[in-house]
């Protein structure tokens, strides 16, 4: 069984390679594997056949074994053998419980046809202000389908802006988790799970652990590999801490389509390689991914949806971990029909592949402060319950119809920006405006017309 | 087809052997190296950049195109120097990197590649670059532009810190400073006193061209 010290040893003694050469080698290798494994995605088929998903998985294993992972600080390749990866595949993953008490949930295996809903966890996936932290988080937390409550980063706390590696980062790691736990208590979900620990440097992140802050039950520690297939010591340190303290590691990957990965096929393979790499050094039980387009950063476009579907189905069929959908990448903003359709398309993909959990979300790809609200969480929360068990072909038809509604706006840069939280919610009462409720109702109607069973 | 156009076509198609062979043959036949550079290599590189912007080429092709162009220039430059006594001047020197705390490299790489194929001399410091390293390198290479990338709200302040440091050091006026990265905006660039902001990697090229025109 591989240990973290094995990884350390390899990071210090593996073959030396220049980063640029690694990037080029990666790009060539992933391209070659798409050809070798005959991975071809049909434009009209977002949900792939199981055989295609299995080919993606095998190609991903080969990518990890033949390409390795680049250690950015030592400038060396971390290499894994085929046998070591095979061992990871059969030894990682089991049911995992997140949260505490009555608010705990168990991530357990689902098959695409299972009618029980995947777990849905939500919170604003964008930066927020200190003044609006409470209502914006509360708007998600109070949703009936919010089984966990994630918290956002805060622009300034007491006037201090977050800054990686400085004392300000500690302030920003220890404070929002206390605020979100108070909100969780107030909405009757005191044992809720709160997602990955905030922050970027391990020292600051670990200061967030306290009886009033992060605990081993209410968070994950992020150990993810960076795109494309690169990491540094800090991820190993976090993985080591997670192991020592029984904290579930946050296994995740976000490949960029249009950069070193040219298309959905290459992104899917890369997701498999990265997730297996992360599982190898982190004893992980669950994970998620979101292929994003380099043009606009969204994950609701056709290629990203194909990447979600192929990598997700590949993992569901070949790895016993709980797999989840990262819903943070719609391009339109809150209070628009488009953002709801983008979220619906992403949700349909996840339901069709049989994912175990969904988390998110924010409008405008999470890049603009305050462009998130509980209504976007409501969309995937309700869809997950109403449409769980949808057949792949049926889901495919719905996704294509949804793409028809917004795909041109992604391509030509006309996605509506929508409104920030305080313009689409009554901030005092934390209720959506009439305008947003009407938009939501219209989106629901249109989804029903597409044949989607919808609701709680 | 004239030889320069053939060279441009070979570079656009990323045919390394063909491009190099064509250049050597043209020089042996007495072609003007300046014309081969402008009508062949630079035209080919522009086509590679255009194909990237059109979505036909990806970052790997940009890297290959950049490498190929450098090979071609290395062959042509001594011939140009022999003729005119001058070496090909770059359009400007750019020190580039992702700021401290941030290890995202892809957007930064793209900016470097696109500016590189557009004729700028790139000094890429990589990721997680401390402010002082930017300043030191800029001084060392006498940079024209500092390009600071940040992909996370938590690392954006480092862009402002670098600008403030240059100001306090009294060297702010020596460089144009541009910022970019997913969470950054024109408003943020204005707030921290940057000279420019680019929404995408492709936008960075005309931005730098404009700033250099003012130098």
Write out chain B residues lying below 8 Å of A164, CB-based.
Answer: 100-102, 152, 154-155, 158
Supply the pLDDT for residue B62. 84
B contact test, residue of A204, A259, A299 with most B CBs within 10 A = A259
The answer to whether the CB atoms of A20 and B103 lie below 8 A apart is no
List the alpha helices (DSSP H) in B54-171: 59-84, 106-117, 131-141, 157-169
Q: Which residues pair with A257 in a beta bridge?
A: A261, A293
Write out chain B residues lying below 8 Å of A258, CB-based.
Answer: 55, 58-59
The answer to whether the CB atoms of A155 and B153 lie below 8 A apart is yes
Reference A352, options A402, A403, A388; nearest CA is A388
What's the rounded Cα separation, in Å, for the pair B168 and A359? 44
What's the rounded Cα separation, in Å, for the pair B108 and B114? 10
Residue B13: band (very low, low, confident or very high) from pLDDT cuts 50, 70, 90: very high
pLDDT in tens, B26-77: 999 999 998 898 899 888 988 888 888 788 888 888 888 888 888 898 898 8
The answer to whether the CB atoms of B59 and A31 lie below 8 A apart is no
pLDDT in tens, A381-408: 999 999 999 999 999 999 999 999 999 9
Residue listed under structure tokens 């970019």: B180
Taking the alpha carbons at both ends of chain A, their separation in whole angstroms is 44
| Chain mean position to CA A221 | 14
Supply the pLDDT for residue B84. 66
Q: Which residues pair with A105 in a beta bridge?
A: A98
For residue B28, the SS3 value is helix
Supply the pLDDT for residue B88. 58
Write out chain A residues lying below 8 Å of B105, CB-based.
Answer: 19, 226, 230
Supply the pLDDT for residue B86. 59
Shortest alpha-carbon distance between residue A37 and chain B (Å): 21
User: In degrees rounded to 5, what are phi and psi of residue B134?
Assistant: -60, -50
Given a cut of 70, the residues of chain A with pLDDT beneath it are: 455-456
Shortest alpha-carbon distance between residue A83 and chain B (Å): 30
Indicate the residue of B63, B64, B101 with minimum beta-carbon distance to A201: B101
Supply the pLDDT for residue B1. 62
pLDDT in tens, B149-185: 998 888 999 999 999 999 999 999 999 999 999 889 9
Residue B85: band (very low, low, confident or very high) from pLDDT cuts 50, 70, 90: low
pLDDT in tens, A296-317: 789 999 999 999 999 999 999 9
Shortest alpha-carbon distance between residue A299 and chain B (Å): 14
Supply the pLDDT for residue B165. 96
Shortest alpha-carbon distance between residue B26 and chain A (Å): 30
Indicate the residue of A72, A153, A260 with minimum beta-carbon distance to B153: A153
Indicate the residue of B58, B100, B182 with minimum beta-carbon distance to A297: B182
Indicate the residue of A23, A201, A227 with minimum beta-carbon distance to B63: A23
What's the rounded Cα separation, in Å, for the pair A324 and A306? 15
What's the rounded Cα separation, in Å, for the pair B66 and A237? 37
Nearest chain B alpha carbon to A226: B104
B contact test, residue of A18, A164, A169, A369 with most B CBs within 10 A = A164
> What does the H/E/C string look like for chain A?
CCCHHHHHHHHHHCCECCHHHHHHHHHHHHHHHHHHCCCCCCCCCCCCCHHHHHHHHHHHHHHHHHHCEEECCCCEEECCCHHHHHHHHHHCCCCEEECCHHHCEEECCCCCCCCCCCEEEECCCCCECHHHHHHHHHHHHCCCCCCEECCCCECEECCEECCCCCHHHHHHHHHHHHHHHHHHHHCCCCCCECCECCCCCHHHHHHCECCCCECCCCCEEECCCECCCEECHHHHHHHHHHHHHCCCEEEEECCEECCCECCHHHHHHHHHHHHHHHHHHHCCCEEEECCEECCCCCCCCHHHHHHHHHHHHHHHHHCCCEEEEECCCCCCCCCCHHHHHHHHHHHHHHHHHCCCEEEECCCHHHCCCCCCCHHHHHHHHHHHHHHCCCCHHHHHHHHHHHHHHHHHHHHHCCCCCCCCHHHHEECCCCEECHHHHHHHHHHHHHHHHCCCCCCC
Reference A307, options A60, A92, A65; nearest CA is A60
Supply the pLDDT for residue A455. 59
The answer to whether the CB atoms of B103 and A232 lie below 8 A apart is yes
The answer to whether the CB atoms of A227 and B153 lie below 8 A apart is no
The answer to whether the CB atoms of B58 and A201 lie below 8 A apart is no
Contacts of A8 (CB under 8 A, 6+ apart): A236
């Amino acid at each position: 069984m591989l240990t973290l010290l094995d990884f350390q040893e390899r990071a210090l003694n593996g073959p030396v390679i220049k980063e640029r050469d690694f990037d080029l080698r990666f790009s060539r290798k992933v391209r070659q594997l798409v050809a070798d494994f005959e991975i071809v995605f049909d434009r009209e088929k977002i949900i792939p056949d199981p055989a295609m998903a299995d080919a993606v998985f095998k190609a991903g294993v080969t990518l990890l074994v033949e390409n390795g992972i680049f250690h950015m600080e030592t400038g060396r390749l971390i290499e894994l053998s085929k046998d070591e990866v095979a061992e990871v595949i059969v030894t990682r993953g089991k049911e995992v419980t997140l949260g505490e008490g009555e608010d705990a949930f168990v991530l357990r295996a689902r098959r695409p046809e299972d009618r029980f809903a995947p777990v849905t966890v939500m919170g604003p996936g964008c930066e927020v202000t200190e003044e609006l932290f409470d209502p914006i988080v509360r708007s998600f937390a109070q949703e009936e389908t919010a089984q966990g409550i994630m918290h956002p980063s805060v622009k300034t706390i007491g006037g201090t802006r977050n800054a990686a590696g400085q004392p300000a980062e500690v302030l920003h790691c220890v404070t929002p988790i206390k605020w979100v736990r108070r909100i969780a208590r107030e909405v009757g979900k005191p044992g809720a799970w709160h997602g990955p620990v905030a922050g970027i440097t391990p020292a600051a992140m670990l200061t967030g652990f306290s009886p009033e802050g992060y605990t081993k039950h209410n968070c994950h520690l992020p150990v993810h590999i960076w795109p494309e297939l690169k990491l540094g010591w800090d991820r190993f340190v976090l993985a080591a801490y997670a192991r020592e303290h029984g904290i579930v590691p946050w296994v995740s990957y976000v490949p960029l389509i249009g950069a070193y990965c040219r298309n959905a096929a290459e992104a899917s393979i890369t997701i498999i390689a990265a997730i297996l790499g992360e599982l190898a050094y982190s004893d992980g039980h669950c994970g998620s991914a979101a292929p994003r387009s380099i043009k606009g950063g969204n994950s609701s476009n056709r290629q990203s949806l194909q990447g979600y579907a192929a990598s997700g189905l590949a993992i569901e069929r070949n790895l016993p971990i709980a797999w989840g959908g990262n819903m943070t990448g719609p391009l339109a903003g809150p209070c628009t029909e488009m953002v709801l359709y983008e979220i619906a398309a992403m949700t349909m993909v996840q339901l069709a592949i049989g994912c175990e959990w969904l988390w998110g979300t924010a409008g405008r790809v999470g890049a603009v402060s305050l462009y998130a609200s509980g209504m976007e969480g409501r969309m995937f929360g309700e869809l997950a319950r109403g449409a769980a068990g949808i057949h792949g072909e049926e889901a495919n038809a719905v996704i294509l119809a949804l793409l028809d509604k917004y795909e041109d706006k992604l391509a030509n840069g006309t996605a509506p920006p929508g409104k920030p939280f305080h313009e689409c919610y009554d901030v005092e009462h934390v209720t959506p405006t009439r305008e947003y409720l009407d938009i939501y109702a219209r989106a629901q109607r249109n989804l029903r017309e597409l044949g989607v069973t919808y609701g709680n | 087809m004239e030889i320069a156009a053939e060279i441009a076509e070979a570079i656009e198609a990323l045919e390394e052997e063909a491009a190099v062979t064509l250049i050597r043959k043209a020089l042996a036949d007495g072609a003007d190296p300046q014309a081969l550079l402008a009508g062949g290599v630079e035209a080919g590189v522009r086509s590679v950049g255009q194909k990237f912007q059109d979505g036909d080429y990806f970052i790997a092709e940009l890297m290959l195109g950049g490498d190929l162009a450098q090979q071609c220039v290395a062959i042509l430059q001594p011939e140009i120097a022999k003729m005119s006594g001058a070496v090909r001047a770059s359009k400007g020197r750019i020190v580039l990197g992702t700021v401290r705390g941030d290890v995202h490299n892809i957007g930064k790489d793209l900016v470097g590649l696109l500016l590189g194929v557009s004729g700028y001399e790139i000094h890429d410091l990589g990721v997680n670059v401390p402010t002082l390293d930017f300043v030191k390198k800029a001084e060392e290479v006498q940079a024209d532009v500092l390009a600071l990338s940040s992909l996370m709200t938590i690392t954006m302040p480092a862009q402002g810190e670098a600008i403030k440091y240059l100001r306090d050091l009294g060297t702010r006026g020596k460089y144009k400073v541009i910022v970019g990265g997913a969470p950054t905006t024109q408003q943020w660039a204005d707030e921290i006193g940057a000279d420019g902001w680019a929404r995408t990697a492709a936008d960075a090229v005309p931005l730098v061209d404009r700033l250099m025109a003012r130098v």
